Structure 1
Amino acid sequence: MTTKLTFRILIAALFCAAMTGGGTGVARAQSVAVMVNGEPITTFDIEQRSRLDKLSHQSRTRQQILDELIDEKVKIREGKKYGVSPSDSDIDSSFASMSSRMRMSQDQMTKMLAAQGIRPETLKSKIKADMVWTSLVRGRFKDSLLVGEKEIQAQLAATGGGDKGSTESFEYQMRPIVLIVSRSSDGGAMEARRKEAESLRSRVQSCEDADRIFKALPNTAIRGMVVKTSADLPPALREVLDKTPVGQLTAPEATRQGIEMVALCGRKPTTADTPKKREIRDKMFAEKFMAKSKDYLREVRNAAMIEYRGVDAGRSGR
């Protein structure tokens, strides 16, 4: 399973490294450390992964890094057996998403890696293995990974989560509204639009009112309908929406685009997960996934042909 937290730490570390201009050239000398099902893992591969470790502030032994590389080899091979093989465009897309979260292009991310002596293929190979394994485990064991309603209710009861917020869920129908303020404008422009928004709130008693009023205003946008459940929204926004009468607007807030409000067009009970149930479901799914992943990986690794070379000769698998 992709370790999102590790990637976030890695991205932050990359940013810091780029700012300090650190890094050394990529070493070229390499020798085979391990053969996995006829495929080599070289000392260069180990060194590259070690550099990634340093960027993400991980502290692992050489053998732990080597074990991870072996695991990735057997994951990729197992994926091929079942026809699970992400395309280059899939991997590039994931790499691009990481770059985007850093507000940079793929080329900029590549240069940041290069500054630390790391090839982009090093990170992409890890991305590929994680994508393959996640698809494999989810696909092959999807029935056993399902979290049933009885399991959730039992967990709620065990944790005393029977309060109203844990047992009720709502569906919210909303139309976001933006009174646009140019980024080049001074603080006075933002305050003027805030006062304008406040004066308009009292005139809106339905979403039809909101549509009519804000479509007629210059430099103003009213978005299409957005439907979310309680579990989809952060607690602060849920609290605001629960206190807002249907048909009216939330209080104006300053954002990067200008002054924003939300017209609450509908709020009704739903059988969808409550935030607490969603939290329990996600946690139980993750626990099942990790357990199944661990057993499955042990199985495919035990069946793999792993031959240690050189200084690694004589070692055994985990």
Structure 2
Amino acid sequence: MFGVIGTRRLAIAMAALAASLVIDPIVAAAQTSGVAAVVNRTPITTADVARRVAFLRLQRQKADSNTAREQLIDETLKRQEIARVKMSVSTDDVDASFARFAASNKMTPDQMGKILDQAGVTSQHFKNFIAVQMSWPRLLNARYGGGGSRMSSQELVTRMMESKEKPVTTEYFLKQIIFVVPPAKRNAIINKRKSEAEASRSKFPGCDQAKDFAATMMDVSVRDLGRVMTPNLPDDWKPLIEKASPNGTTATKITERGVEFLAICNQRQVSDDVAAEAVFRAEDLGKSEKSGTNPNDKKYLDELRSKAQIDRR
């Protein structure tokens, strides 16, 4: 099952980026890679810490080695958990976010990359940061159902009484069709697999025959995603799903697994209590993301920290 992808706004002043082309001598000295910490056998180097110090400085936040190291420890814990439950966004998603951020600052990705490199941050460090910022909300949503524990009957009734109208949303029944691409062959065959996935959409026989259809092709798998309401659609798939015709398929998308599309098995308007709770949760999640906080972020991270082996050096 997938969850809503919510990302915090990456607040970096590009004027500060452009002005910060001289690397601090302390940062430069730290670029000689020693080990600053080890998190569950994953090393964080002094070079990583130096890049984060530079990154914090660009954000005009407190920028010292201890703050940078603690941020990287938290991000490493998140990245390990993201990998464990296989909920990472794809490299293409990260690259697209990087490009949008550059465009919003009237730069090409190459131009922004050069500024980041010259400032001592590096493009890859920023992209690693983006990947966690995009993927982590998926875990929070999957685990806590959109930012909180389930609403009690009393809470749900209270919210519905406060609302002028009972919430209505669209309910989709979805199947995920995956044209698998092994990582070792990704560069060699991804375009071929994309062409195959595109061609298969026009021949898709419908959800009832999906598995039989997949069996006629090489390395194609089908996942039943079940019932998903509009507020719970992931941000990267939502526009594709909403553009698809009823009982049709979405456009293809390149992901970490290969090339995918979704089949719309059924869709309908619903206004029951489950739908109302989904809408209210989406509203609450939107408010928490706008404020830059999620009440379960710290709870989940504290749990990971309590189980982790962290060696600070």
Q: Which residue, out of 124, 129, 136, partners 1:133?
A: 136
Residue 22 of structure 2: aligned partner: 23
Deviation at 1:79, TM superposition (A): 1.3
How far does the alpha carbon of each residue in 1:177-211 deviate from its partner, in whole angstroms, 9 at most, with x for none?
xxxxxxxxxxxxxxxxxxxxxxxxxxxxxxxxxxx
Q: 1:287 to 1:92 in 2, by over 3 A?
A: closer
Alpha carbons 2:44, 2:72 under 8 Å: kept: yes
Amino acid at match of 1:15: A
Distance in 2 (alpha carbons) for counterparts of 1:102 and 1:146: 40
Q: Does 1:97 align with 2:96?
A: no
Deviation at 1:297, TM superposition (A): 0.8
Q: Which residue, out of 282, 285, 301, partners 1:297?
A: 301
How far does the alpha carbon of each residue in 1:16-63 deviate from its partner, in whole angstroms, 9 at most, with x for none?
442x47323883412101111111111111111111111111015432
Deviation at 1:148, TM superposition (A): 8.6
Distance in 1 (alpha carbons) for counterparts of 2:104 and 2:119: 20
Q: 1:148 to 1:76 in 2, by over 3 A?
A: same
Q: Does 1:282 align with 2:281?
A: no
Alpha carbons 1:147, 1:285 under 8 Å: kept: no
How many residue pairs match? The answer is: 194
Distance in 2 (alpha carbons) for counterparts of 1:70 and 1:121: 17
Q: Which residue, out of 107, 119, 123, partners 1:120?
A: 123
Gaps of 5+ in 1: 170-270, 310-318
SS in 2 for 1:140: helix
TM-score (norm 2): 0.52
Residue 243 of structure 1: aligned partner: none
Amino acid at match of 2:99: A
Distance in 2 (alpha carbons) for counterparts of 1:44 and 1:288: 28
Distance in 2 (alpha carbons) for counterparts of 1:73 and 1:148: 35
Q: 1:303 to 1:22 in 2, by over 3 A?
A: same
Distance in 2 (alpha carbons) for counterparts of 1:155 and 1:125: 39
Q: Does 1:3 align with 2:8?
A: yes
RMSD: 3.7
What are the within-5 Å matches in structure 2 for residues 153-302 of structure 1? Answer: 154=158, 167=164, 282-283=286-287, 290-302=294-306
Gaps of 5+ in 2: 1-5, 167-270
Q: 1:149 to 1:55 in 2, by over 3 A?
A: farther
How far does the alpha carbon of each residue in 1:114-151 deviate from its partner, in whole angstroms, 9 at most, with x for none?
23122111111111122221111112221645779974
Distance in 2 (alpha carbons) for counterparts of 1:140 and 1:279: 17
| Max Rg structure | 1
SS in 2 for 1:307: strand
Alpha carbons 1:99, 1:109 under 8 Å: kept: yes
Alpha carbons 2:7, 2:289 under 8 Å: kept: no
Q: Which residue, out of 26, 39, 42, partners 1:39?
A: 42
Distance in 2 (alpha carbons) for counterparts of 1:135 and 1:29: 35
Residue 222 of structure 2: aligned partner: none
Identical aligned residues as a percent = 30
Q: Which residue, out of 80, 86, 107, partners 1:83?
A: 86
Amino acid at match of 1:89: D
Alpha carbons 1:137, 1:292 under 8 Å: kept: yes
Amino acid at match of 1:3: R
Q: Which residue, out of 70, 74, 89, partners 1:71?
A: 74
Deviation at 1:15, TM superposition (A): 2.8
TM-score (norm 1): 0.51
Residue 3 of structure 2: aligned partner: none
Distance in 2 (alpha carbons) for counterparts of 1:69 and 1:287: 22
What are the within-5 Å matches in structure 2 for residues 49-64 of structure 1? Answer: 49-64=52-67
Alpha carbons 2:38, 2:44 under 8 Å: kept: yes
Alpha carbons 1:23, 1:116 under 8 Å: kept: yes
Alpha carbons 2:75, 2:132 under 8 Å: kept: yes
Deviation at 1:77, TM superposition (A): 1.0
Deviation at 1:304, TM superposition (A): 1.1
Amino acid at match of 2:72: L
Distance in 1 (alpha carbons) for counterparts of 2:302 and 2:108: 38
Q: 1:130 to 1:281 in 2, by over 3 A?
A: closer
SS in 2 for 1:291: coil
